[in-house]
Amino acid sequence: MDVTEIEVDELDRRRAAGAVLIDVRQPEEYAEGHVPGARLIPLAEVPDRLGEVPTDEPVLVICKSGGRSLRAAEHLVAQGVDATNVAGGTMAWIESGRTVATGDAPG
């Protein structure tokens, strides 16, 4: 299944416009550093937590480097969600010098 991918520059623009961002990493990875505003739904929990994913607006999906988020985005698209993968993931976000939130809250 084809999933649209964006780079972190586009993520930054969409996030500033209020886009929904879901981080599919493990809680400890998320707590160590995540894109501010990202909601945590670990990859293994995505199927059981579909009710938490908006279906009336685009959703961006991120992980550490883009692999897990691509799998999650593929699943979401198959469920009718307008999901887009963030290529390069949180590592690309950090490497770009952008702000990173820490802890359990979306920040």
Residues annotated catalytic, as ranges: 63
Q: How far apart are CA 93 and CA 46, in angstroms?
A: 22
Strand order of the sheet with strand 59-62? Answer: 4-6, 83-86, 59-62, 20-23, 39-40
Question: Token match 């961002």: residue?
Answer: 21
Instruction: Report the run of H or E that residue 11 belongs to, with start and end.
Output: helix 8-16
